[in-house]
Amino acid sequence: MARFFSSPVVCALALGAWWTACTPEEPPFAVDDVRPVPAHFPTYIEPEDNPMNEAKWELGRHLFFDERLGADGALSCASCHVPEMAFADSSRVSLGTGGIQGVRNAPALVNGAWQPRFHREGGVPSLEAQVLAPIQDPMEFDRDLVALVEELSQDEQYQSWSECGFGRGFDAYVMTRSLAAFQRTLISGGSRYDAWLQGNASALNAAELRGLDVFESLECNSCHSGVLLSDFETHNTGLYANYDDVGAYRLTFDSSDIGAFQTPTLRNVALTSPYMFDGSLPALEDVVDHYVSGGTGHPNQDERVRPRTVTDQDKADLVAFLHTLSDEEFVVWATDLRP
């Protein structure tokens, strides 16, 4: 357990003197001080231009939950990426400032330190850049970036953390990088499936192991691959015959990318319903039914999405396996992050 997190509130109070003094003699602070990197994960590589420190992380944590980000003063990152829901959202599509209805389901924020690109069409190359789109999107935070930074810079505590963490006053650079630093510590790798991967043969029961076999036989693991359970590539999965949301085509203007969206991680998937880029499938059973049916036959549909012959038992076993990807301890930890 990280030294920081017996209680964020208590720790924040105890470290109050540190925030004020901000002395270079303080001990080093790394991602493992917040959330240890699982031994079976890829190596954690910290960005050279955004090294972790305690003040930076604390500023990012508070910003993530700060409802002043919304134009109506009532919307934060955590409004759509809810800690108790593994940083996803139970709404079909996210609601923006003033309750305006968006067009996409909020993806779970987890293991972003290893994610090479962000947003549903995979068009944003870093966590530092990611926040700029929702802040300025009229269907999300609907804020003028300059005005938002000016407002938040009046917060004396934010200014203190900014000086300590970055050696400069609060500005857009500080805001984006502190949020990114915080999000890199949202690490989930403690599910029963992880225990099985690390050699605990009894971590999965017979039905769940059969479900893993179905997962592999249906080629689910070819897109939801590796320990991160995503290839982070864009694919058209045949959800619709005609797509109102054209997906990656918005970036490439290549007609072969119409309806293509980035593969989401399956970590904590049982906790993050509804599913698909638009939240159109309410339950895991519906997702399984979609894929085994073979999709709609869209011209761009990935060839791996095709009609499959599976039994009701196969489907039940597959869903049972997907439940083993839930990291309950991560969710419990996450609920204590709220300032």
- The enclosing domain of 42 has a CATH number of 1.10.760.10
Measured CA to CA, the distance from residue 284 to residue 288 in angstroms comes to 6
CA distances from 308 to 125, 153, 218 (A): 35, 56, 8
48 & 182 share domain: yes
153 & 42 share domain: yes
What pLDDT digit, counting tens, does each position of 60-97 carry? 999 999 999 999 999 999 999 999 999 999 999 999 99
- Any domain includes 151: yes
253 & 144 share domain: no
Query: Which residues make Cβ contacts (< 8 Å) with residue 333, sequence separation at least 6?
Result: 5, 35
Measured CA to CA, the distance from residue 218 to residue 295 in angstroms comes to 14
What pLDDT digit, counting tens, does each position of 27-64 carry? 679 999 999 999 999 999 999 999 999 999 999 999 99
* Helix locations, the chain, DSSP H: 8-14, 16-21, 54-64, 77-80, 127-130, 132-136, 145-152, 156-166, 172-183, 192-197, 206-217, 249-252, 284-293, 312-323, 328-335
Domain containing 222 equals 205-323
238 & 176 share domain: no
- Any domain includes 195: no
243 & 176 share domain: no
Number of domains present in the structure of the chain: 2
What pLDDT digit, counting tens, does each position of 286-319 carry? 999 999 999 999 999 999 999 999 999 999 999 9
63 & 155 share domain: yes
Range 187-211 average pLDDT: 98
Q: Measuring CA to CA, which residue among 115, 330, 310 is closest to residue 218?
A: 310
135 & 232 share domain: no
275 DSSP β-pair partners: 281
What is this structure's pTM?
0.92
